[in-house]
Amino acid sequence: MNQERALLFDAHDIPLSGWSLIEASAGTGKTYALANLYVRLLVERNLSTKEILAVTFTKAATDELKGRIRSRIRDALSAFTSGASDDEFIQRLVSRVTDHEGARRFLTDALRSFDQAAIFTIHGFCLRALHRCAFESGSLFDTELIEDEADLVNEMVHDFWRITFYPDSGQFLKCVHKWVGPKDLLKLVLRCGRCGTGWGAQCQRREVPCPVL
């Protein structure tokens, strides 16, 4: 992004290469715009669903995105078949694209291979990358995503407490023990939020020391 200048967004004109940051308030149609761009990528760039990555935050948002994009592809396909649509975006697309048969072919192909569409949550995408590239990234082939790392963090905090204070003379602890216990340390760690899932999993295998401790 060389230019800091903000442009008014138009799903038709926006270039399909380079970086674009699209900023808008909730409910103004970001998902809608994304679905339109997806259709353009299929029709104008002839990409397949495997080749377009869409990442969002939550599982629910991912499901919604999948549903919206798929129904958008269907709308476009029926417009390219009948030659007309009441939807403004699709109508413009139909009149602009000359090869209707090619468009139909790629849209049909996208629908049939939609199970391979790369629409993920951030975690889901990372896990997939890890699985796909286990060999290249040197990780175990059966790496799993831990949904809740609380037990691991707990154990680490407790071990830290044990190692630090059990053999200690108690001088330091004497001054602070009224205010600091394992529970407080745990709160601190969670508040810092630095002990992400990835670290948690590796800490458990004792390969990598936890960055927090």
Partner 1 sequence: MAGLNVYTSNRLEILVERLASVVREQPSSPLISEVIVVQSKGMERWLSLELARALGIWANCQYPFPNRFALEIFRTVVADVPAMEMLDTDADVWRIMRLLPQYLDRQGFEPIRTYLGESQLNLKRLQLSERIADLFDTYAVYRPELVLSWDAGKESHWQPELWRALFGEEASAHRARIWKLALTKLKKGDFTKDALPGRVSVFGIPVLPSYHFELLKGLAQYCDIHLFLLNPSREYWFDIFPERSIVSLQRATGRPVSLEALHLEEGNPILASSGKLGRDFFRAVAETESEPIGSFVEPEGRSLLAAVQSDILNLRNRGANSEKKVIESTDASFQVHVCHSAWREIEVLYDNLLNLFEVYPGLTPKDILVMAPNIETYSPYVSAVFDACQDERKRIPYSIADRHAPSESTIVDVFFRLLGLCKGRFEASEVLDLLDAPSVRKRFGLTDEDMEVVLRWVEGTRIRWGIDGGHRAELGLPPFEEASWNAGLERLLLGYALRGDGETLFGRRLPYEDVEGDQAKVLGRFLGFFRQLFRQIREMELPRPLEAWATTLETLVSTFIAQDEEDARDIQVLRGQIRSLKRLEGLAGFHDAIECEVVRYYLSRRLAREELSQGFLTGGVTFCEMLPMRSIPFRVVAVIGMNGDAFPREEQPVGFDLIAQDPQPGDRSLRDEDRYLFLEALLSARDVFYISYVGQSIRDNKEIPPSVLVSELLEYCEGGFATENGAPVVDLIVTKHRLQAFSPAYFSGDGPLFSYSEEDLEAARTRRSREQQSAPFITRPLAEPPAEWRSVSLADLKRFFQNPARYLLQQRLNIFLAQEEIALQGEEPFSLDALDQYDLGNLLIDKALAGADLKNYYDLARAKGVLPPGAPGELSYSDLVGRVNSFVKPLKPHVQHAPLDPIDVDVEIAGFKVTGRIDGIWPSGRLAFHFAGDKAKYRLALWVDHLMVNLVQQRGYPLMSRLLTEDESWTFGAVDAARDILEALLQTYWEGLCEPLRFFPESSLKFVERLNKGETRPDALLAALQAWRGNDYAAGEGTDPYLSLCFGRANPVADPFAELALRVFQPLLEHQERER
Contact between 161 and partner 1 per CB under 8 A:
yes
184 binds partner 1 (CB under 8 A): no
* Minimum CB–partner distance for residue 7 and partner 1 (Å): 30
Does position 209 bind partner 1 by CB under 8 A?
no
Using rule CB under 8 A, residue 179 touches partner 1: no
| Residues in region 44-73 near partner 1 by CB under 8 A | 46, 48, 60, 63-64, 66-67, 70
Do the beta carbons of residue 76 and residue 107 sit within 8 Å?
yes
Distance (Å, whole) CA 95 – CA 84: 9
And the tokens for 175? 């001054």
Q: For the segment 3-42, give every residue that binds partner 1 (CB under 8 A).
A: none
Angle, CA of 108, 103 and 87, to the nearest 5°: 90
Q: What residues between 72 and 91 interact with partner 1 by CB under 8 A?
A: 74
Closest Cα partner for 44 from 133, 88, 110? 110
Q: Which is nearer to partner 1, 167 or 193 (CB)?
A: 167
Q: Rule CB under 8 A: choose which of 14, 55, 111, 213 binds partner 1.
A: 111
Q: How many residues bind partner 1 (CB under 8 A)?
A: 49
Least separation in angstroms between residue 89's CB and partner 1 is 21
With contact defined as beta carbons under 8 Å apart, do 37 and 13 qualify? Answer: no
Token readout for 191 is: 């508040």
Determine if 134 is a binding residue for partner 1 (CB under 8 A): yes
Residues linked to residue 54 through DSSP beta bridges, in sequence order:
119
CA distance 12 to 84: 17
- Using the structure block, give the residue that is written with the tokens 């044990």: 162
Identity of the residue, 55 or 111, whose beta carbon is nearer to partner 1 in the bound complex? 111
Query: Cβ distance 113 to 42 under 8 Å?
Result: no
d(CA 170, CA 165): 7
89 versus 120: smaller Cβ distance to partner 1: 120
Q: Which residues bind partner 1 (CB under 8 A)?
A: 46, 48, 60, 63-64, 66-67, 70, 74, 99, 101-102, 105, 108-109, 111-112, 114-116, 128, 131-136, 138, 140-142, 158-159, 161-163, 165-170, 173-174, 177, 181-183, 207
